[in-house]
Chain A
Amino acid sequence: MLKIWSMKKEQQKAENADGAGGKKKKVTAAQLRVQKDLSELSLGTTMKTEFPDPDDILNFILEIKPDEGVYHGGRFTFTFNMNQNYPHEPPKVRCQQKIYHPNIDLEGKVCLNILREDWKPVLNLNAVIVGLQFLFLEPNASDPLNQEAADDLRSSRDSFRRNVRTSMAGGSIRGTTYERVVFNNKT
């Protein structure tokens, strides 16, 4: 065999660090990165995180309560799931409520470029959260996931606004019933 061991020894000497004994239990790369992302999160006053299991930081719920725009007064939650390939793969994000939104379908799938085709490992959870916030402020009719809502928004902003309010109050639009997401600020 090659004399690789003597080379390893030399490298070790140069670094002057001795490995500790015992069974190693290494923090996975994905967990490390999420830990870092979380400590840099800027949530502001409209967002909150919830960890069903605090030991599992790869899964959490983000709550957004938009304080302006069409969705003002609503409370929406998104599940965030990172797999062991994070950040080489984007987080999986889903809206837990049925929402009337041109860029979120009735299953909760979100059309946000950085969650799919434009994801890069240099992006972080903050970027995703900012993107979600933006979707609530500026629903985008040109990249629709919910075609009806997009057509609605395109043809009349007022009608779209009315339908959003109806849906948020738990009403129905064209046969689909939505979840009540308005909350009372005083309680």
Chain B
Amino acid sequence: MAAISGGGGGGGTGAASRWHYLDQIRRNPGPFNEDSDVSDEALAAWDKAKVLVIGAGGLGCEILKNLALSGFKDIHVIDMDTIDISNLNRQFLFRKDDVGKFKAEVAAAFVEKRVNGVKITPHNCRIQEFDEDFYMQFQIVVCGLDSIDARRWINATLVNMVDMENQDSLKPLIDGGTEGFKGQTRVIFPTITPCIECQLDLYTPRAAVPLCTLATIPRQPEHCIEWAHIIAWDQEKPFPSLDKDDPEHITWLYQKASARAQEFGIAGVTYSLTQGVVKNIIPAIASTNAIIAASCCNEALKIATNAAPALGFEESYMMYSGDDSIYTSTFRYDKKDDCAVCGNLAKPLAVDPAWTLQELLDSFAVKPDLQLKKPSIRAEGKTLYMQFPPGIEEQTRPNLDKTLKDGLGLEPGFEIAVTDPSFPALTFQFILKFA
């Protein structure tokens, strides 16, 4: 048996001892990985795996540390945010001196320094600034995000990237999320298993207060803050646009809300509540982040090594609840046939580029699997022809005589969406192919 503290590394950085337990998993076939390749070649190939971490905040810090300690050697991390003093209680890779610096940069440097041999490349920007070519270089994507929009964006991007000609185009997506004492880990194999858009209805929309309550009969401090945010700001426009991270702007809202609260005899409006309501802040708990990040990285390790069955194909969703003792439940989520991202994926449609739009529409009437008599048709960002309402019909009517390629600028690979008022439940999506 190898000595646990062997290799002479006091503290262990860089010492072989650091990987002792990991090697037990990686090198020995077990009941779940009888078929897996535990040869040195396979392990060397694994060293080359590139993982992308999205978010370097509460979850991201944990994920980066865990991935590095799980033996991943080439990690990229994206985060557009800078470090705020309020992050320091749980985002443990950051120190007071780091306030104001980019999260991705500081987190990458910290983990690189502590774990020998790992390379972490930071990107201080929004995920939307990269294109498919960038995302194509990774084998696994792990998300520790606090935004639904960003999740939907990366999900749609990864689903769109799947290309039957290229098996590397399928990137497993591991999504962690926490909210107070609750959290979730889910694994998505884009286009094969239910995607984030399929599960969108799991997010409860933020409870909105009727506008008239805000305007006339506020009852809670939150109502006064929302009033300042939605109504007073619009009326007075103290600054050109509201920056929720600008203390001056929040102070303005806070003062407005306080005055209103006083007027109605409501107690409890504070600066931090103002900030919380306006930014929709939910308290983050370090231990929830740690548990969810650990579970995400476990999935990454399982996918990369085959050491054990990963979440995804059977059960894809693990929920954790820590506010009433500790409870987890892992279940199967079904793919949605009408999912806007991965359901009803567009079918190829062969057309003659020299056809006029009218000829294309006429072809829909006789196509046996369509038989549409009054089709409306759009491409991304382009209204080709709408039968209804009358105003837009008139505006788009001239398009009917234009040819698909030269007249309307359509190219192979463009998606078109076809609707018909006779079939309100149906939307047909096609990818154009030039015959």
Contact = CB atoms under 8 A, between A and B. Distances in A.
B164 A18 contact: yes
A12 B419 contact: no
Contact of B341 (A24, A29, A54): A29
A32 B427 contact: yes
Interface string A78-91: 00000001001100
Nearest to A110: B211
From A11, A12, A22, A40, residue with most partner B Cβ within 10 Å: A22
A27 B416 CA distance: 7
Contact of A19 (B156, B164, B313, B382): B164
A21 interface: yes
Interface residues of A, number: 58
B249 to A, nearest CB: 19
Nearest to A40: B424
Contacts of B215: 105, 111, 144-145, 147
Interface stretch (A45-53, A163-171, A179-187): A45-53
A28 interface: yes
A36 interface: yes
Contact of B381 (A5, A11, A41, A55): A55
A143 interface: yes
B268 interface: no
B25 to A, nearest CB: 16
B225 to A, nearest CB: 16
Interface string A54-87: 1111001000000000000000000000000100
B376 A43 contact: no
Given A35-B378, A39-B376, A144-B215, A57 B392 contact: yes
Q: Give the interface size bracket for B toward A.
A: 35 or more
Nearest to B374: A39
A38 B388 contact: yes
Given A2-B303, A39-B419, A27 B212 contact: no
A122 to B, nearest CB: 11
A41 B387 CA distance: 11
B425 to A, nearest CB: 9
Contact of B413 (A24, A103, A113, A119): A24
Interface on chain A toward B: helix, strand, loop, or mixed SS?
Answer: loop
Interface string B391-435: 110011000000000000001111111011100100101011100
A39 B380 contact: no
B82 interface: no
Interface string A100-128: 00010101011101001101010000000
Contacts of B313: 7
A5 B417 CA distance: 29
B415 A27 contact: yes
Interface in B264-290: none
Contacts of B212: 103, 111, 143-145
A20 B189 contact: no
Interface stretch (B60-68, B178-186, B200-208, B357-365): B200-208
A26 B189 contact: no
B39 to A, nearest CB: 15
Given A22-B412, A54-B395, A57-B383, A27 B378 contact: yes
Contacts of B139: 1
A28 B380 contact: yes
Nearest to B433: A20
B433 A25 contact: no
Most B Cβ at <10 Å: residue of A20, A35, A121: A20
B392 A40 contact: no
Nearest to B431: A20
Nearest to B235: A107
B216 A147 contact: yes
B172 interface: yes
A21 B413 contact: yes
Contacts of B170: 4-5, 8
A146 B160 CA distance: 47
B80 interface: no
Contact of B191 (A8, A26, A143): A8
B323 interface: no
Contacts of B216: 144-145, 147
Given A1-B303, A4-B189, A43 B389 contact: yes
Contacts of A36: 419, 424, 427
Contacts of A49: 389-392
A108 to B, nearest CB: 10
Which 7 pairs of residues, A with B, have the shortest CB-CB distance?
A: A22-B413, A29-B340, A143-B212, A5-B167, A20-B348, A20-B431, A54-B395
16 contacts: A1-B139, A1-B303, A11-B191, A17-B345, A20-B412, A23-B413, A24-B414, A25-B414, A27-B417, A36-B419, A38-B386, A38-B389, A38-B392, A39-B386, A111-B210, A147-B216
Given A27-B429, A35-B417, A88-B205, 14 more contacts: A1-B304, A2-B303, A26-B156, A27-B379, A29-B341, A36-B424, A39-B388, A48-B389, A49-B391, A57-B386, A85-B149, A116-B211, A117-B209, A145-B216
Interface of A: 1-2, 4-5, 7-8, 11-12, 17-29, 31-33, 35-36, 38-41, 43, 48-51, 54-57, 60, 85, 88-89, 103, 105, 107, 109-111, 113, 116-117, 119, 121, 143-145, 147
Interface of B: 139, 149, 156, 160, 162-165, 167, 170, 172, 189, 191-192, 197, 200-201, 205, 207-212, 215-216, 231, 234-235, 303-304, 306, 310, 313, 340-341, 345-348, 376, 378-383, 386-392, 395-396, 411-417, 419-421, 424, 427, 429, 431-433
